Structure 1
Amino acid sequence: MKERFDAKDLARAVSAGVLNPGQDQALLEFLKRQPGTQPSFQLAHVAFYLGALLIMAAMGWLLTEAWMRIGDVALLVIALAYIVCLTFAGLLMQRRGQIIPAGVLAAVAVSIVPLAVFAVERLTGIWPLDDTQTGYHNYYSYVQAGWLLMEAATVVAGLLMLRLIPFPFIVMPIAVALWFMSMDLSEWFYGHTFTWEQRLAVSLWFGLVLLAVFLVIDGRTRQDFAFWGYLAGLLAFWFGLSLMESDSELNKALYCLINVGLMGVAVLLRRPMFMVFGAMGVAAYLGYLSYEVFADSLLFPVVLSVIGLGVIALGLLYQKHREALTVRLRSKLPVGLQQLLPALRR
């Protein structure tokens, strides 16, 4: 079903008697004057998100040691100035009906909260880490229990910001802070024995929990808050799963089946991002088979090409019958599980 309408669609509505003559042009002019409220791949929207990511990067993991030498007071003043100015600008944009740039600016403001807390901790002397761990950019690189206050403050600030400017992208810095918190709490629990494998397991389970939480939220809010929650959950789950080492062929095959399952979830929820992550996982497994298991087979590339053509054909089939396939797949599930699934967004 089409999600955007043009003049031809409205003209057909007039011909069908749904609209009176002249109402189609009036409606079209009205829609043209409305500011965009839903994210899309319009150039302006891409610019909004790209600008936000650049600011987040500049004030996050690209913040160098040179900035640490300007002093904690100056660091706090700069962080607070960013937060206040970005929040004020976001509120101003929201008042003018520019919802997307307002929400993007608000999300950037939330992402800078850890820097402000970092400066406050150092000024008050409650900074829990030693001098070799004082670089703020390490917050994005290393698991340390000492970051917990920064992460908790970010979550609280994000929730408060959602009350001021309810925009889905604000979920992303909240989810990232919770992901970091899950790692740092695990480091605090395990101590110095917190291994790489344990970190991957924590990331995997955190991702699953996050996906479950946003499955409950999905379809129950006016705006699509689940999108960014799903993305954060998939990143944590998929990378935790994909980076796990195993010499068992059974485990590798299970990894492929899990990714096929993600592709099935994409059809159930009509969320393309599940299809993307699932396809990457299946492709990784097929690549492993190509280079390790069937390295000397002449037929494997041919078979794989046929499979690729089949996948493309399935994609075309899904595009044509998306609604019917989703409804049919959902009908095969138990009634209790069907009730848990969100209503489909158009």
Structure 2
Amino acid sequence: MKFDKEDLHWAASQGLISAEQADALWEALSERNSDRPQFNFANVAFYFGALIVISAMSWFMTLAWESFGGGGIFLLASVYALCFILVGRDMWFRQNLKIPGGLLFTIAVSMTPLAIYGLQRWTGFWTQGDPGTYRDYYSWIKGSWFLMELGTIIAGLIALKFVRFPFLTAPIAFSLYFMSMDITPILFGEADFNWQQRLLVSMWFGIACLIVAYLVDIRTRRRDGDFAFWLYLFGLLAFWFGLSFTGDSNEFQKFIYCLINLGLIVLSVLLKRKVFIIFGAIGVFAYLGHLAQSVFQDAVLFPVALTVVGICIIYLGILYEQNSRAIERFFESIIPESLRQILPRD
């Protein structure tokens, strides 16, 4: 539950606390939360600027950089990363500017694939042949990108050991998502692979990423920083797309697909993660669309039945909102303590 200064003033007006206590409490909480990301102009500028720098050194990298050669690219990327680390270290540890300092560390980690690409281009060492220019890294699935992704993950983990900044998990999760695709030709031992093989690897890789995200989630408190969000997001991307586009399946398999997506919606409540309900809802609606277009395309009452189901769900939501505390207390009483302990904490 979140509250603002007006809530404290309301508590003071109700005689629960004094006005002086409300002001003192708000000042103390503001001081405590000063390092947490907030939606204000300064933080928008911090993150927007960081994303521009990361984009400039990744998606918007021009072919002109190839003229520096592998050694030049490696040297430039390393110097850039070192500069970002030094300035970020000063901001984080000396000036106590956690957000801009943490973002500079994140930018430094994001330079890792470029540095490794330059080193590989320089030495001519590729796991599965020359993959092309660095710009192709974001466009083509190739096993030779694997070391770039692995290096980025390692660099991110090392940075997290010294700087507890949640956004550092973004390049790690992004690299894991790319790895879920680029590892396919390595696992199957060939550069050419079919779409089904890629989807299968993506799905299982996504499951592994979600398990890691869950383990991170239960070992950290979200009030200290959400270190699991990006892992959940990219894990769900890999899992859900692998699951949703596996090709032709019979009606029973499609029904199981719907149940899995309903399970994602349930998980969104248990884990308190909205991203699960987004993917789950899309999957359920995709299944309902399949029923409407293929199975019940000539059934006049199918839209009516769906309408009734939707209204019933809305009514259940109203009942839950009116009796939420009693329902939560009931479930807390029947859920074993051992199970409650493995759920994420706020």
Measured against the shorter chain, the TM-score band is 0.7 to 0.9
The 1:24–1:242 alpha-carbon spacing in structure 2 relative to 1, beyond 3 Å, is same
Correspondence list, 1:98-117, <5 A = 98-117=97-116
Aligned to 2:254: 252
Compare 211-220 and 116-125 and name the one that shifted more: 211-220
Partner residue of 2:122? 123
Structure 1 residue 93: deviation in Å?
Answer: 3.5
Q: 1:204: Cα distance to partner? A: 0.9
Q: Is the 8 A contact 2:170 2:230 kept in 1?
A: yes
Q: Is the 8 A contact 2:173 2:231 kept in 1?
A: yes
Unmatched tracts of structure 1, length 5 or more? none
Distance change in 2, residues 1:317/1:248 (3 Å):
same
After TM superposition, list the pairs within 5 Å mapping 1:220-231 onto structure 2: 220-221=219-220, 222-231=224-233
Deviation per CA, 1:104-145, whole angstroms, max 9, x where unpaired?
Answer: 3322321220001111121233245555x2211222233322
Q: Which amino acid in structure 2 is aligned with residue 107 of structure 1?
A: T
2:278 counterpart residue number: 276
Change (3 A) 1:336 1:142: farther
Q: Could you tell me whether the CA contact under 8 Å between 2:199 and 2:243 is conserved in 1?
A: yes
Q: Which of residues 166, 170, 173 in structure 1 aligns to 2:171?
A: 173
- 1:263·1:275 contact (CA, 8 Å) conserved in 2? yes
Aligned counterpart, 2:185: 187
Contact 2:69 2:121 in 1 (8 A): no
The TM-score, its normalising length taken from structure 1, stands at 0.84
Match of 2:58 in 1: 60
CA distance in 1, matches of 2:293, 2:68: 51
Q: Which amino acid aligns with 1:237?
A: F
Tell me the equivalent position of 2:210. Answer: 211
Distance 1:162 1:122, change over 3 A: same
Cα displacement (A) at 1:63:
2.3
**Gapped regions of structure 2 (runs ≥ 5):** none
54-63 or 155-164, which moves further after superposition?
54-63
Where 1:246 maps in the other structure, the secondary structure is coil
**Offset from partner CA, 1:155-174 (integer Å, 9 cap, x none):** 11101111232112211211
Quote how far apart the aligned CAs of 1:46 are.
4.7
Structure-2 separation of matches of 1:166 and 1:322: 35
Distance 1:88 1:323 in 2: 50
Deviation at 1:335?
6.1
TM-score (norm 2): 0.84
Distance 1:285 1:158, change over 3 A: same
User: Residue 60 of structure 1 aligns to which amino acid in structure 2?
Assistant: S
CA distance change for structure 1 residues 216 and 34 in 2, over 3 Å: closer, same or farther?
closer
Output the CA distance in 2 between the equivalents of 1:324 and 1:103: 42
Deviations 1:202-253 (A, max 9, x none): 1111111121222222132243212222112111111111121123111111
Residue range with higher mean Cα deviation, 201-210 or 99-108: 99-108
CA distance in 1, matches of 2:134, 2:25: 52
Within the candidate set 79, 82, 87, 2:80 is matched to: 82
Instruction: Work out whether 1:136 is the aligned partner of 2:134.
Output: yes
- For 2:20 and 2:90, locate their aligned partners in 1 and report how far apart those are by CA, in whole Å: 36
> Cα distance 1:320–1:269, how it changes in 2: closer, same or farther (>3 A)?
farther
Change (3 A) 1:301 1:108: farther
Helix, strand or coil at the partner of 1:22: helix
1:317–1:170 distance in 2 versus 1, CA, 3 Å: farther
Contact 1:246–1:252 (Cα < 8 Å) also in 2: no
Mapped to 1, the partners of 2:322 and 2:237 lie a distance apart of 29
User: What is the aligned length?
Assistant: 341
Shift of 1:340: 2.8
Structure 2 CA distance for aligned equivalents of residues 81 and 324 of structure 1? 59
Secondary structure in 1 matching 2:188: helix
Cα distance change of structure 1 residues 119 and 280 upon mapping to structure 2, 3 Å threshold: same
Secondary structure, in 3 states, of the residue corresponding to 1:230? helix
Checking the alignment, whether the CA contact within 8 Å between 2:218 and 2:342 is kept in structure 1 is: no
Partner of 2:35: 37
Q: What is the identity, as a one-letter code, of the residue corresponding to 1:194?
A: F
Counterpart amino acid of residue 274 in structure 1: F
User: 1:196: which partner in 2?
Assistant: 195
**Aligned match of 1:9:** 8
Residue in 2 aligned with 1:236? 238
Counterpart secondary structure, 2:218 = coil
